[in-house]
Amino acid sequence: MPDMTQHGKAETQQWQPVANTPVVMFDRVSKTYGRINALAGVSIGISGGVTGILGLNGAGKSTLFKLMMGKIKPSSGAIRLFGTDPWKNPAPYSRVGFVPEHEKMYDWMTALDFITTFARLHGMTRDEATKEAIRVLSFVSLEEVMHKKIGQYSKGMRQRVKIAHALVNDPELIVLDEPLQGCDPLARTTIMNVIKELGAMGRTVLVSSHILHEIERITEQIVILHRGRVLALGNLHAIREMLDQHPHKILLDCKNPRGLAKDVIDLEEVTGISFVNPEKLLIETKHLGEIHQKLPQIIVDSGQIVTGIDNPDDDLQSILMYLTGGSP
Amino acid sequence: MSTKMDSIWSKLDRKSTAIVEFTMRQYRTRISTWVVMGASVVAIFLMLLFYIDAMNTEIDAIDNDGDSFDTDGDGYPDGQERLEGTNPNSDGSFPSWVEPDPPEKWINEDDIEWDNLASGENYVGQDDDGDCLSQDTSSQRDSNDNNIDCDIIVTIDTINGTIVVEADNNVDEDPDEDKYGKEAGHRAFILGIGKFGIVFLLGIFLPLFLATGLIREEITEGTIHYMLAKPIARGEILLYRMLGYLGITWPFIIGLCFILSIITGFTGPGDGFFRWADLGVWMTIAWAAMMVSLVYGTIFCGFGIIWKNGVILAILFAAWELGMTFVAILSGGDSSIRYFSVIGWGMIIVDSGVAVCWPDNWQLIEVGLWGGGQGEANWLGEMEYAALPGALPLQTFSGNSGLGVSEWIAFVISTLVLLFQGIISWFIGQAIFKGKEVN
């Protein structure tokens, strides 16, 4: 009989993951759209820890994730999630949490509603789903506003709702597509901490980004995609070393750049300062990582209001320049 | 077996109730839902105003046999003089032993009284005003030569579907136009608004606006990813989304038909307090609209999955269905091409419901088409009778199943055909959805 009251656990034949296989496995996977090679012969196997998927826009990050999430079919090669082909069988998603990059959400729902509803698609009862939803909302520090409509949330809060929604089934694999895009610095820090925490809990986390220093603050294990191929795979440190020889630029939007400049110029990492226009301050450095660590404190101490931080000279571009010998 | 069924169900319905509830809530938050439903209600209630106005307007009585006139001017209407045996053309001859009747008494004085007609020859009719029985010779009284004075022979040929009426002179010749026109007009309104307004227009516009985007809008907006990244097959998502769509449209259709049945049941003609038989007709109209909107909804949702401009395909399909609506209504059940449509089967549901709830409907049409036997012979020598008001619209909107089976079986068959169309559409839709690459 249909279980309309939805009490207790559902007794179903569970899908079982294949033993001794990587969580995610791509075996010579290619995906072509007409004559465009979105992904060409990619082979990777990932299990445990946080992995950053780096690449410029159009490098194949989204294609990789779409293939992994069974949204598109590979042109050739095999994809396995816990040993199962996700295009043919959606069962592995009971162990997966996915954070899509799309900004559109169900704005008319409250965060609690949204997460509870979609938790029920994992086969949870209403009660279980509500309990789990509250748990994940407090994990991303949104439990105080969970009864508000998602439409009233800021960009960063929306991202956190999406992440919470992906965690509701306590997944072993968490896939985050550009989770930091468009977030304010505070939300970035919160989200980064959440991701790091998940990695520390032994989950397999995949994070895509086109900004190197974001990934750098989360993990050292990276995959660099370029033009549909895996360009580099492994520890970031070695690659990082090479990069320090290149100068980097940081662009700050603020009301009074000159006031901020005098605090920044004292830092030994800073090699140059210029004023692009009356509300922008450009800092040049060879040590991007350190500057990004010190900058928030300097801004707070100076009492200036900074409305935006940007890296116009994208450092991933520099890595790619280096790795491809000057033809990104 | 039972434990396995239990386990499959218990987990499936958790997911299904989640998606169904979610879909219904989503509809409720959309303005388009309310606009479409509001516009349908307004349009149908505008039509209802015309109906209420018609029901409250007296239809002018016509003195078909002209016996309310007082030809000789002696104060007695011709009909009364003939009945009493005096000469209506001489002012010196009048029935002095009775008071003269008011002329209105001799208008609509001989209503059509046909018993339940059966196949073959039926001898019916009654000369209420005595203008047949008072004629002199037996050949005048029995002009149709069946050895019964003053009656009507109605010959029904069920094989060819023809009806021939041969009446003796002046029998049932002056029917009550208002009484007939109200009854026929009332039924024609219910069938017209039911078949065209509710089963077709509502049945196709609700899915066009509400079902085409059921999956398509989620794909366009990217929110489909929240559903697809769950351990649930795409075919199930489609099925449960469809159930959510039905959860909104079906109660709306039932509610609308129920309200209409209440209003027309009280305002309609008749001696009773409420027209109970109409309730059955309204419910078959609602059932037909529900089945039709189920099939259209599934097809249109599939169009939305195939192509981002699936609404264009839906409109092309709707054009075909509009043509089939006219074929199905105007052919009255004689056309076979309507079987290759959705709406044709919906109309069969209504027609079989009418045959059950108003078993006298076809006879009412025939009575009205004969209309008292007034008319002229055309160049072939066939009589063309002047139909009573309301008879032609009622004939237009009535039909028969054409399936050659009893009404109940026609009802069941047409329902099953529509369900089958719906299931096939879902099956094709989910197959397309499964193979669809969602970017």
- Average pLDDT (A110-139) is 91
CATH number of A24-240: 3.40.50.300
Please report the pLDDT score of residue A125 as a whole number: 86
- Give dist(CA A320, CA A317) in Å, integer: 5
Paired tokens of B19: 């998606």
Distance CA B410, CA A100 (A): 51
B184 neighbors B390 (Cβ within 8 angstroms): yes
| Dihedral class, residue A237 (left if φ above 0, else alpha if ψ from -120 to 50, else beta) | alpha
Comparing B144-153, B212-221, B411-420, the range with the smallest average pLDDT is: B144-153
- Best residue in B6, B11, B13 for a mutation probing chain A (most A CBs within 10 Å): B11
- Interatomic CA distance for residues B62 and B386, integer angstroms: 12
Interface contact flag, B6 A11, Cβ < 8 Å: yes
Q: With a cut of 50, say whether residue B140 has pLDDT above it.
A: yes
Task: List phi, psi (to 5°) of B183.
Answer: -65, -50
The predicted model gives A43-47 an average pLDDT of 88
Task: Tell me what the pLDDT averaged over chain A comes to.
Answer: 82
Which class would CATH give A248-312?
A: alpha beta
Residue B255 has pLDDT above 90, yes or no: yes
Are the CB atoms for A71 and B218 separated by under 8 Å? no
Asked if residues A139 and A164 have their Cβ atoms less than 8 Å apart, the reply is: yes
- Nearest Cα residue to B193 out of B278, B285, B92: B285
Q: Show Cβ contacts of residue A106 under 8 Å, excluding neighbours closer than 6 positions.
A: A114, A150, B26, B223, B226
User: According to the 3-state scheme, what is the secondary structure of chain B?
Assistant: CHHHHHHHHHHHHHHHHHHHHHHHHHHHHCHHHHHHHHHHHHHHHHHHHHHHHHHCCCCCCCCCCCCCCCCCCCCCCHHHHHHHCCCCCCCCCCCCCCCCCCHHHHCCCECCCCCCCCCEEEEECCCCCCCCCCCCCHHHHCCCCCCCCCCEEEEEECCCCEEEEEECCCCCCECCHHHHHHHHHHHHHHHHHHHHHHHHHHHHHHHHHHCCHHHHHHHHHCCHHHHHCCCCCHHHHHHHHHHHHHHHHHHHHHHHHHHHHHHHHHHCCCCCCCCHHHHHHHHHHHHHHHHHHHHHHHHHHHHHHHCCCHHHHHHHHHHHHHHHHHHHHHHCCCCCHHHHCCHHHHHHHHHHHHHHHCCCHHHHHHHHHHCCCCEEECCCCCEEECCCCCHHHHHHHCCCCCCCCCHHHHHHHHHHHHHHHHHHHHHHHHHHHHCCCCC
From chain A, the residues in CB contact with B240 under 8 A are none
Going by C-alpha positions, the residue among B116, B253, B136 that lies closest to residue B198 is: B253
Distance, in Å, from the CA atom of A44 to the CA atom of A30, rounded to the nearest integer, reads 12
Q: Answer yes or no: same fold for A24-240 and A248-312.
A: no
Q: What is the pLDDT of residue A311?
A: 67
Residue B356 CB: number of other CB atoms within 10 A? Answer: 17
CB–CB of A69 and B229 under 8 A? yes
For B30-54, write each residue's pLDDT tens digit: 998 999 999 999 999 999 999 988 8
**Mean pLDDT value across chain B:** 87
**What integer pLDDT is reported at residue B7 of this predicted model?**
47
B372-402 pLDDT, tens per residue?
Answer: 777 777 777 777 888 888 889 998 888 887 7
Residue of chain B with shortest Cα separation from A69: B229
d(C-alpha B336, C-alpha A248), whole Å = 78
> With pLDDT > 70 as the criterion, what percentage of chain B qualifies?
97
End-to-end CA distance of chain B: 40
Mutate to test the interface with B, among A12, A72, A175 (most CBs of B within 10 A): A12
Q: Provide the phi-psi class of A287: left if phi over 0, else alpha when psi is between -120 and 50, else beta.
A: beta
pLDDT for the residue A148: 92
* A38 vs B: CB within 8 A: no
Where is average pLDDT lowest: A244-253, B259-268, B314-323, B417-426? Answer: A244-253
| B177 pLDDT tier (thresholds 50, 70, 90) | confident
- Token readout for B107 is 């208008």
Do the Cβ atoms of B102 and B80 come closer than 8 Å?
no
* pLDDT tens for each residue of B141-171: 888 888 888 888 888 887 777 788 888 878 8
| Every domain of chain A and the residues it spans | 24-240, 248-312
Confidence class for position A138, pLDDT limits 50, 70, 90 = very high
Output the pLDDT for position A273: 84
Q: Is the pLDDT of residue A177 over 80?
A: yes
Does B112 or B432 have the greater pLDDT score?
B432
**C-beta atoms of B10 and A12 within 8 A:** yes
Give A238's contacts (C-beta < 8 A, 6+ positions apart): none
Angle between helices A111-119 and B2-29 (to 10 degrees): 150
Q: Is the pLDDT of residue A11 over 70?
A: no
Write down the pLDDT at residue A185. Answer: 82
Residues of B with CB under 8 A from a CB of A: 3, 6-11, 13-15, 17-19, 21-22, 25-26, 29, 221-223, 225-234, 435, 437-439
Inter-chain residue contact B9 with A90, CB threshold 8 Å = no
Residue A1 has pLDDT above 50, yes or no: no
A111 CB neighbours in chain B (<8 A) are none
Q: Average pLDDT of B290-299? A: 96
Of B14, B229, B438, the CB nearest to A125: B14
Q: In the numeric block, which tokens belong to residue A303?
A: 């009492």
Which residues does B1 contact at the CB level (< 8 Å), separation at least 6? none
Which pLDDT value is given to residue B127? 80
C-alpha dist (Å) from residue B416 to B187, B292, B410: 27, 12, 10
pLDDT of residue A238: 64
pLDDT at A313 (0 to 100) = 54
What local confidence, expressed as pLDDT, does residue A321 receive? 67
Tokens of A225: 């995609």
Select from B228, B230, B437 the Cβ nearest to the Cβ of A122.
B230
Question: pLDDT at residue B276 above 80?
Answer: yes
Residue among A97, A61, A53, A10 at smallest CA distance from A212:
A53
What is the model's pLDDT at position B146? 81
**What's the rounded Cα separation, in Å, for the pair B182 and B264?**
12
pLDDT band at residue B297, thresholds of 50, 70 and 90? very high
What's the pLDDT tens digit per position in A256-315?
A: 888 788 878 877 778 888 887 888 888 887 777 777 778 888 888 887 788 777 765 556
Hey, are the CB atoms on A10 and B11 less than 8 Å from each other? yes
The fraction of chain B above a pLDDT of 90, given in percent, is 42
- HSE on the CB side for A64, CA within 13 Å? 36
CB of B207 within 8 A of CB of B297? yes
How far is A9 from chain B, CA to nearest CA, in Å?
9
Q: Which residue has the tokens 């009251």?
A: A5
Please count the CA atoms within 13 angstroms of the CA of B344 that sit on its side-chain side. Answer: 19
Query: CB-based contact (8 Å) between A153 and chain B?
Result: no
Buried b (16+ CB within 10 A) or exposed e, B124-139: bbbbebbbbebbeeee
The structure's pTM equals 0.83
Q: What confidence tens digit (pLDDT) does each residue in B98-137 have?
A: 888 888 888 887 878 787 788 888 888 888 777 788 777 8
Q: Which among B8, B29, B229 has CB closest to A108?
A: B29
Q: Is residue B1 over pLDDT 60?
A: no
pLDDT at B202 over 80: yes
- Percent over 70 (pLDDT), chain A: 86
Q: What is the CA radius of gyration of chain B?
A: 29
Buried/exposed B36-49: b ≥16 CB within 10 Å, e otherwise = bbeebeeebeeebe
Look at A1 and B6 and tell me if their CB atoms are within 8 Å. Answer: yes
What is the pLDDT, as a whole number, of residue B282? 95
Q: Report CA-CA distances (Å) from B257 to B275, B281, B375.
A: 14, 10, 39
Output the pLDDT for position B11: 61
> CA angle B20-B411-B297, nearest 5°?
30
